[in-house]
Amino acid sequence: MTSSQTNPTVLHADQEHTGLRTAVFFLLFVSLVLSFLGIRALLISLGAFDYAFIASCGGALPVALGIIWVVEKLLKRYWPSGRSVTLTHNGLQMKTEEDAQWEITQAHEPIPLFWYFDLRGWQRGGRERRVPRNWLCLAVDLKSGKKEAVVYTFVPKDKASIWLNREDGIHFHEISPRDVYDNSLRSRMGGPTRPEIPAAVLTGKDGKYWLAERHRWTDGFELPPKEFEQFMNHIQTTLKL
């Protein structure tokens, strides 16, 4: 693939950040109350006194959800997390919310690692819990010395196939979270947590992928599927992967 990019393109990562989720939760509550009051006032003004309360209760939720859907779209556009992946003419520039920045270019000779996993059959938590179970997580680790960048996305299986079935040298290796997550009833009652990866797994055939996956948990940059596709096309062109 070729790239015609000349100006840097900023891809905002972690769009569903903590501040946004908190605001959405608060606004949902406010929208429910206002929707209930608005529908009730409208029905009463129309003379529908007998069923105004019940109809208001039933109609408030879909109206509030519709409002929140629009508001969330706007918040994601105008309230970034502060973490970003910038596509430059010669590679990537990573930026965290603390304004820490570093570059990865072809001159750094980054070592790439590609992996994916299914979201079914293990105790999910955090962002992974809010993604449909039949989706996949696709992740890329670019490492050069002390510089490292992990970029990932969550995507439906049918759309993931364009990356999993490629014949251009890029190969996404599958790992199984069931190898490290405790799915016992006791662990489920205690709530989801990140596991300690067993030494046998780290020293096994998938060890390097699990080391990168552990880095994704703490410092990964999540991109929406479309932006992840931009990222993938860009690193193939500029980093010659």
State pLDDT tens for residues 7-30.
799 999 998 878 877 888 898 899
Distance CA 99, CA 192 (A): 30
Distance CA 166, CA 237 (A): 16
pLDDT at 114: 97
| 86 within 8 A of 95, measured Cβ to Cβ | yes
pLDDT at 187: 57
pLDDT at 241: 76
Low-confidence ranges of the chain (pLDDT < 50): 1-4
User: Which residues touch 153 (CB under 8 Å, ≥6 apart)?
Assistant: 137, 138, 139, 222, 223, 224, 225, 227, 228
